[in-house]
Amino acid sequence: MMPFLQRALVNSLRKVSADLFFEVLNNELAKGYSIRLFTLTEIDHLGGQAKRIYSSAPKQYPIGGYKQIEINDWSKQVLEQGEAFIANTEKALSEVFFDHQLISSMGLGAVINWPVIVEGKVIGTVNILSSENSYLDCDLEQFEALYPWFVIAFSLPVLQESSL
């Protein structure tokens, strides 16, 4: 049987709109970082795929659908080692992202990808993008402070579908 506080939290979260929750996270991060694109990506390690569960630009980066994860320096750093990835130039983005031309066409040239780890495994990434050099010498304190909320963000779809 689930403890009372855990059950109360789960039942409360079932009533929360996932999109609204994601927008709140975007707004909180925007207090400390320039953000022109905000996405959340769920990771399926067994299938080697990623699925976007939120996008502030759904026309260019739609929600849903799986894409294969490329094995490169980015995937090793973020998905295998669980370390944040920061790049500040279009050239750096082109070295690790297959969709770098779309990113560039949106005027974006800097990224922070923050891995969300549960039980030693990366379950998703929080991704913010902006113009080149936006994240030079940035402090990741705000990402660290919001970490429990990121875990909740990736848990919301599961909580809302379950019958706990």
pLDDT over 90 percentage in the chain: 72
164 confidence band (pLDDT: 50, 70, 90): very low
Higher pLDDT pick, 116 / 18:
116
Torsion angle defined by CA atoms of residues 74, 139, 123 and 16, in that order, rounded to the nearest 10 degrees:
-140
Q: What is the pLDDT of residue 7?
A: 60
Q: Which amino acid is at 85?
A: F
**Residue 151 near residue 60, CB atoms below 8 Å:** no
Residue 148 has pLDDT above 70, yes or no: yes
pLDDT in tens, 23-80: 989 999 999 999 999 999 999 999 999 999 999 999 999 999 788 999 999 999 999 9
Q: What is the pLDDT of residue 156?
A: 72
DSSP-assigned beta bridge partners for residue 121: 118
Domains of the chain with CATH codes: 4-161 (3.30.450.40)
DSSP-assigned beta bridge partners for residue 85: 113
Mean of all residue pLDDT scores within the chain: 88
Specify the 3-state DSSP secondary structure of 89.
Answer: coil
Q: In sequence order, what DSSP letters do the residues of 94-150 get, joined into one string?
A: HTT-TTHHHHHHTT--EEEEEEEEETTEEEEEEEEEESTTTTTT---HHHHHTHHHH
Q: What is the pLDDT of residue 60?
A: 94
Q: What angle do CA 31, 24, 154 make, to 5 degrees?
A: 120
Q: What is the pLDDT of residue 105?
A: 96
Contact residues for 54 (Cβ-Cβ < 8 A; gap 6+):
18, 19, 22, 38, 39, 40, 63, 153
Q: How far apart are CA 146 and CA 151, in angstroms?
A: 9
* Entry pTM: 0.87
